[in-house]
């Protein structure tokens, strides 16, 4: 027993060779950002969206939708091109957002802070005409008759090119919903019966769109006459008293 213990005590200890981690055969380097993304300034999300929208409005109206790339918009907006896809998804979706924004601006111009129950339908039409006459984005679109954005927002008879369809549909949806809400509120408060707000809003949208088109192609001296005739027809359609205006 003592001998075995002595032999075990003096037995050489086994050497353990450390195992080195295998080196990867291929080294993957992080992708470098493109020059435009590297130079672009960083803004908060709301400002980024606003800058992209204004840049897209300007470029689509002056160059055309097809001739404008997302890189062009990013450069003009001073943002990364990736931020456009992050916030809007695609160039086509951005065009639809422009339609909603433009529709919202038209609504603000037609309402001017007035309450819907006191806002006469004829006044809405006059303000709509004034907006389309003075709005810089609308005039730029109007000047590019062959461009994808050359479209009367309210028109249903004068259809835009297929490229402009997202803008047209989004703008119409926003404006027509507001018109329907206005007609429903105005008729309810003034006790006007027999007016279907949804049907009347759709017909009003078509009528105003055609009147805007006629005003655009007619002599300047006919502009006011076309506007007033349209305002009269819309007021009558909503059951409002036009004679006192």
Residues 6 or more apart in contact with residue 229 via CB below 8 angstroms: 211
pLDDT digits (tens, 9 = 90+) for 63-86: 888 899 999 999 999 999 999 999
36-89 and 97-237 agree in CATH topology: no
pLDDT for 162: 74
Q: Where are the domains of the chain?
A: 36-89, 97-237
Burial 4-35 (b: 16+ CB within 10 A, else e): eeeeeeeeeeeeeeeeeeeeeeeeeeeeeeee
pLDDT digits (tens, 9 = 90+) for 11-39: 444 454 454 545 544 453 444 445 555 45
CATH number of 36-89: 1.10.10.60
* Residue indicated by tokens 């939708």: 65
Mean pLDDT, rounded, for 200-226: 94
Instruction: Look at domain 97-237 and name its CATH class.
Output: mainly alpha
In which band, very low, low, confident or very high, does the pLDDT at 163 lie, cut at 50, 70 and 90? confident
pLDDT digits (tens, 9 = 90+) for 124-148: 999 999 998 887 555 555 444 333 3
Mean pLDDT, rounded, for 177-181: 98
- What is the pLDDT of the chain when averaged over all its residues? 81
**CA–CA separation, 14 and 136 (whole Å):** 87
pLDDT for 150: 37
């Amino acid at each position: 027993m003592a001998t075995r213990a002595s032999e075990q005590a003096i037995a050489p200890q086994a050497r353990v060779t450390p195992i080195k981690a295998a080196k990867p055969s291929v080294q993957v380097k992080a992708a470098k950002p493109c020059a435009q993304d590297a130079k672009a300034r960083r803004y908060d999300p709301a400002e980024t969206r606003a800058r992209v929208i204004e840049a897209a409005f300007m470029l689509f109206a002056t160059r055309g939708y097809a001739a404008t790339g997302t890189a062009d918009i990013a450069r003009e907006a001073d943002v990364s091109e990736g931020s456009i896809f992050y916030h809007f998804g695609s160039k086509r979706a951005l065009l639809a957002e422009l339609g909603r924004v433009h529709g919202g601006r038209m609504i603000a111009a037609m309402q001017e802070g007035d309450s819907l129950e006191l806002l006469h339908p004829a006044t809405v039409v006059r303000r709509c005409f004034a907006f389309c006459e003075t709005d810089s984005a609308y005039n730029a679109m109007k000047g590019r008759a062959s461009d994808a954005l050359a479209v009367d927002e309210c028109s249903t008879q004068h259809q835009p090119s297929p490229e402009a369809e997202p803008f047209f549909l989004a703008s119409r949806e926003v404006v027509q919903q507001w018109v329907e809400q206005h007609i429903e509120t105005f008729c309810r408060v003034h006790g006007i019966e027999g007016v279907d707000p949804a049907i009347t809003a759709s017909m009003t949208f078509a009528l105003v769109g055609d009147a805007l088109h006629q005003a655009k192609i007619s002599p300047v001296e006919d502009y006011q006459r076309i506007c007033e005739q349209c305002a009269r027809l819309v007021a009558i359609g909503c059951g409002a008293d036009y004679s006192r205006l």
